[in-house]
Amino acid sequence: MLELPILQNPKQDTISLMDSDIPLLANQPLLYVETYGCQMNVNDTEIVQGVMHKKGYSLTNTPDNADIILINTCAIRDNAEKKIHERLNHLKYYKKKNKDLVVGVLGCMAERLRENLLEKELVDIVIGPDEYRSVPELVEKAFGGERGIAVKLSRVETYDDILPFRTEGISAWVSIMRGCDKFCTYCIVPFTRGRERSRAYSSIVQEVTSLYDAGFKEVTLLGQNVNSYMDEHSGNNFAELLRACAKAVPHMRIRYTTSHPQDMSDKLIETMAEFDNICKYIHLPVQSGSNRILHLMNRTHPIEHYYERIAKIKELMPGCALSTDIITGFPTETDEDHQATMELMKIVRYDGAYMFKYSPRERTKAWKMGDDIPDTLKISRLNEIIHQQNQISYEINQQTIGTIETVLVEGPSKKNPLEWQGRSDTNKTVIFPQNENLAYIVGDYIKVKIARATSATLIGTVV
């Protein structure tokens, strides 16, 4: 059974990860982990920290005083990897300062590049997403001068029994499954995260309950394709898991990501509609509006199926916010295909979208299709969809003016510390005045009347 760590102050420079029953070692090594990429990686970092916690390591949130620096990486697009290579180059500075420093690469890039990463003099250890239990052992060996690699993918590893180390007290990420079996032809994830496997149903419900008891206000269930969640023992699917969580913690907000249109069942949409505490926001990646491209991408459904799922969502939850992922410049994409995507966006009217230009990934099927769309064309199509989406987001957000949103208070606004920010049920950032008379604190639910809106945020006053 999972137990939650005592909440720590993330502002503190050095956070002791010690439980009272673990003896505190003098001069114990300090661990610093930096996370790139998706939310799964954020939770994976917490898992690695949880594993190291058990072994008696302490955690620091700056590389300056660290004895171990681990970089949890992303390999989804070439520019994500470039950024990490640059960061690794910067880390040479710390290694010069401290000859005994251990540097490790974790995550999808570790899995993809394997021993090639050890060619970098700086890197001591390379550990893939299914080998996080071996982090302490490899770190210890690295302290003894032995470099190491662990990149085996597993069919069963779900880290079900590992207590993730969480530092923030409002929102928690909970991985419910790992890996992906969809094999979209552009995507490296099935190669870096391996086969799909689900965590035990009861352990997830228990973790969500413990998070509520520990004071968390919101939980996001995570997986590459949560809709295909299936607990082998109980036979429970994702809709059933979501229902069980919603019932177990009726005062906690529940979110989930990511969905695949093929597996987005009626039952799931009905369950979302039934429970007030399941947030009315769905991230439903479409990738392209063209059937020809969807087929080449192996998305396993025609666009008509996608439209039908959207119609069902809008029918059962008229106010539900929607977002998506779109790729421009997939091999052979014509202007006609691109226009089909533009058209789709106008019909669905997403609240938001994550938009990318196609990046060829070695080992994937699309890699063999060539990369025939010139970069300039990929970028101009990308700019066109971004521009259109901004306009749609702006129009949708204008319609919220005058409405009252229930907002979970997150704290001072990132842009202007004189204002505060929070999140609406529909996952929109809401800005409101700083709290002068202590009428609300971080983690409270408050009502905000929206006065203004941009394409990215709603701005209002507390009522």
DSSP secondary-structure letter at 133?
G
Considering CB distances under 5 to 8 angstroms, the limit depending on partner class, which of ligand 5AD, ligand SF4, none binds residue 191? none
Asked if 255 is part of the footprint of ligand 5AD (rule: CB under 6 A), the reply reads: no
Locate 400 and state its tokens: 């919220």
Task: Measure the CA–CA gap between 125 and 151, rounded to whole angstroms.
Answer: 11
Out of 359, 393, 413, 426, name the contact with ligand 5AD by CB under 6 A. Answer: 359
| Closest distance of CB 188 from ligand SF4, Å | 8
Task: Measure the CA–CA gap between 422 and 216, rounded to whole angstroms.
Answer: 15
Considering CB distances under 5 to 8 angstroms, the limit depending on partner class, which of ligand 5AD, ligand SF4, none binds residue 225? ligand SF4
| Helices 39-54 and 135-143, packing angle to 10 deg | 60
Asked if 306 is part of the footprint of ligand 5AD (rule: CB under 6 A), the reply reads: no
Asked if 185 is part of the footprint of ligand 5AD (rule: CB under 6 A), the reply reads: no
Closest CA to 137 of 102, 168, 95, 100: 102
Q: What are phi and psi of 22, to 5 degrees?
A: -100, 125
| Closest distance of CB 380 from ligand 5AD, Å | 16
Q: Count CB atoms within 10 A of the CB of residue 64.
A: 12
Closest residue to bound ligand 5AD by CB: 325
Burial class (CB in 10 A: 0-12, 13-18, 19+), 59: buried
Task: Measure the CA–CA gap between 378 and 356, rounded to whole angstroms.
Answer: 9
206: helix, coil or strand?
A: helix
Out of 41, 271, 287, 397, name the contact with ligand 5AD by CB under 6 A. Answer: 287
* CB nearer to ligand 5AD: pick between 157 and 325: 325
Out of 60, 225, 236, 324, name the contact with ligand SF4 by CB under 6 A. Answer: 225
Closest CA to 316 of 308, 304, 324: 308
Asked if 326 is part of the footprint of ligand SF4 (rule: CB under 6 A), the reply reads: no
Asked if 190 is part of the footprint of ligand SF4 (rule: CB under 6 A), the reply reads: yes
| Closest distance of CB 323 from ligand 5AD, Å | 11
Residues contributing to the site for ligand SF4 (CB under 6 A): 180, 182-184, 187, 189-190, 224-225, 260
Residues contributing to the site for ligand 5AD (CB under 6 A): 76-77, 186-187, 285, 287, 325, 327, 356, 358-359, 361
